[in-house]
Amino acid sequence: MKKTTAQNAFYAQSGGVSAVINASACGVIETALRSRHIGRVYAGRHGIIGALTEDLIDVGRESPAVIRALKHTPAGAFGSARFKLKGLQENRAEYERLIEVFRAHNIGYFFYNGGNDSMDTALKVSQIGASLGFPITCVGVPKTVDNDLPHTDCCPGFGSVAKYVAVSTREAALDVASMARTSTRVFVLEVMGRHAGWIAAAGGLAGKGPDEPPHIILFPEVPFERDNFLARVKQCVTDFGYCVIVVSEGAAFADGRFLADAGTKDAFDTRSSAA
């Protein structure tokens, strides 16, 4: 049987970092370094930009203790980036540049640690590599606090934000309750999750019973009905003296308009909120 030469691996972090993104990095790197199919393991500095600029870190030169320490390292250890590669036809030159760098460093494995856009990028890199005669094994490593990656049960990062939102809701509710007689009676906490209500639902962990805050949770999956909402708020203030609301940033009317639509778009061509 013909002996095949081990190819190298490339790992990169993408998008907003979560509390556990470096733990995922640790798992990928340690496993890749042990694999007999993988030679060197590189990490891209500032995500996919590290590949485009050929700014690579040879993590195999670090001690096992340093790699293990990633599990307890905050932020993005290698630097992340909000950099979206467009479609293959729109931006073919950048994809060809990636393959050029991967070919130069004999990179046959690409691990991209990110969310939906990152998974799409991994797919496109796989496609362009195959078309250029340099096939690459592309693996998406889930990372999104929104917990909205298809075909995953729970994305690393969601647990940390779920706890944060639940605790924040509980603390804010206690503050509002203590001042409601002479001050603010209605409190609104907006949370992330443009099209998935997992984070908003986590706010419900703050209450121990049906009458405890949050009294109202607005999900992106459920169309917003203004009159019903206002009636519910008024009833909560009458019954409890105050009302605590957790709302997803993606809460929208039945016609798809976001409640907080500011009429502008972000760098990813997505409608942004006024919050």
Could you tell me which CATH number the domain at 7-142 has?
3.40.50.450
Helix, strand or coil, per DSSP, at residue 94: helix
Of the listed ranges 65-69, 114-118, 262-266, the least confidently predicted one is 262-266
- Catalytic residue ranges: 146
Residue 146 has pLDDT above 70, yes or no: yes
pTM: 0.81
Residue 58, phi then psi, degrees to nearest 5: -80, 95
Segment 72-98 shows an average pLDDT of: 87
Tokens of 8: 């190298």
The string of pLDDT tens digits covering residues 155-205 is 898 999 999 999 999 999 999 999 999 999 999 999 998 889 999 999 999
Helices (H), the chain: 21-34, 48-52, 64-68, 92-104, 116-131, 158-179, 198-202, 226-240
Pairing outcome for strands 261-265 and 7-13? unpaired
Residue 268 has pLDDT above 70, yes or no: no
Res 90: pLDDT:
79
Cα distance between residue 56 and residue 95, in whole Å: 17
Res 210: pLDDT:
75
Domain-by-domain residue ranges, the chain? 7-142, 159-273
Pairing outcome for strands 38-44 and 56-58? antiparallel
Residue 274: C-alpha distances to residues 203, 217, 244, 249, 262 (Å)? 21, 19, 20, 10, 5
Considering the segment(s) 159-273 as one domain, its CATH architecture is 3-Layer(aba) Sandwich (3.40)
The string of pLDDT tens digits covering residues 94-139 is 889 999 999 999 999 999 999 888 898 899 999 999 999 999 999 9
